[in-house]
Chain A
Amino acid sequence: QVQLVESGGGLVKPGGSLRLSCAASGFTFSDFYMTWVRQAPGKGLECLSYISPSAGSIKYADSVKGRFTISRDNAKNSLYLQMNSLSAEDTAVYYCSRDPRLLDYWGQGTLVTVSS
């Protein structure tokens, strides 16, 4: 069965950096576009970025462009999100998901808290 497991969240100071990981299993990871979606506490859902199977196509939302970098390692069945210059507005649960147009499977999420 498809499984997506995020890790790497935690408490970070404003201006700091964090790298999130998403371990995929139960499907051929290298065949699928992957994406990151976040949800601020008590708020709605926001698509942040997606990456094509070969990493040849990458998109970002304006809210994270220039600060966040999405990447993947198909040999390790893993998706990543490097987050720099973090601010309080980036505090959220971060989810990885499969197929950005359809979001058919989601991980359990990892909480990122940006606070001094």
Chain B
Amino acid sequence: DVVMTQSPLSLPVTLGQPASISCRSSQSLVYSDGNTYLNWFHQRPGQSPRRLIYKVSNRDSGVPDRFSGSGSGTDFTLEISRVEAEDLGVYYCMQGTHWVFTFGQGTKLEIK
């Protein structure tokens, strides 16, 4: 299975400041159709995960533009330009290239 490794696992932040989460895969995530199926999700306590970013850098509808995704191959990053209170929770990266599709361990974004 492809192992997805996120860092850090805990990210204390000050509201209004930037935040960055790294995600590394144990294999290239480039699929045979040319797409890279690396997605980012946000989950608040007691809620379902919500997708923020798909195929590395495409922001979902309704996701604020302070969220951005980047990367290629095996190295990916989610950046938040200015953290707001509603951004707190757990962030997961996920690869949809190699079955079984796998998630990172999750990064908990919390107030410093």
Contacts and interface: CB of A to CB of B under 8 A. Distances in A.
Main secondary structure of the interface of B (DSSP, over half): loop
B96 A102 contact: yes
Contact of B96 (A45, A62, A103, A109): A103
A39 to B, nearest CB: 8
A62 B100 CA distance: 9
A112 B8 CA distance: 30
A101 B92 contact: no
Contacts, number: 51
Main secondary structure of the interface of A (DSSP, over half): loop
A11 interface: no
Contacts of A50: 99
B27 to A, nearest CB: 15
A100 B96 contact: yes
Interface string A86-110: 0000000001000011111011110
Contacts of B105: 44
Interface stretch (B17-25, B48-56, B66-74, B76-84): B48-56
Interface of B: 31, 37, 39, 41, 48-51, 54-55, 60, 92, 94, 96-97, 99-106
The 3 nearest A-B residue pairs measured at CB? A101-B96, A106-B48, A47-B101
